[in-house]
Amino acid sequence: MDWAVFGWSIGAAVGFAVAAAFKHASAERLQHLDRLSLGAVRHFVSAIVSQRLWWMGTAADAVAVCLHALALRRGALSVVQPLLVTVLVFGLVARGFSQARADRPRCGGRSCSAVHWQGSLPSPARQPPLREPTWIADRPSPPGSSQWL
């Protein structure tokens, strides 16, 4: 395998993940559409296009598409596409990183936290408590189910 193909594929995956995080953050800043009408959609599109985060996401998408095209030009589809699936992992990290930055307290325009990756990955402390397992054998059988056994 050519290492350039590997690098371009992973670079495309990172680019797509960053673009998705930027666009998601941009859309979160907008008001929710109550109804789907032409005027409401026109207002939403004009609002989203006026945001810098959306344009940064679009630029990241363009770079990622170019890297993906380069990888496909030199590498086999069966190599490039599975590597592109890592966009899911990078997307979780990018979204967690942007969420952690948004939730972090600000101190005079600078971040109060020294650890920038804090909150990037889900931590056990943030997870909801697990429920006790319910076993199928412990459940009562529905009425009439014995005829199927």
| pLDDT for residue 114 | 44
Reading the block at residue 140, the tokens are 């009562």
Q: Could you read off the pLDDT of 9-58 as tens digits, one per residue?
A: 999 999 999 998 888 888 888 777 677 778 878 888 888 888 898 999 99
**Helix, strand, coil content of the chain in percent (nearest 5):** 65, 5, 35
pTM of the predicted structure, to 2 decimals: 0.61
Q: What is the dihedral of CA 119, 125, 127, 128, to 10 degrees?
A: -150
Please state, rounded to an integer, the average pLDDT across all residues of the chain: 75
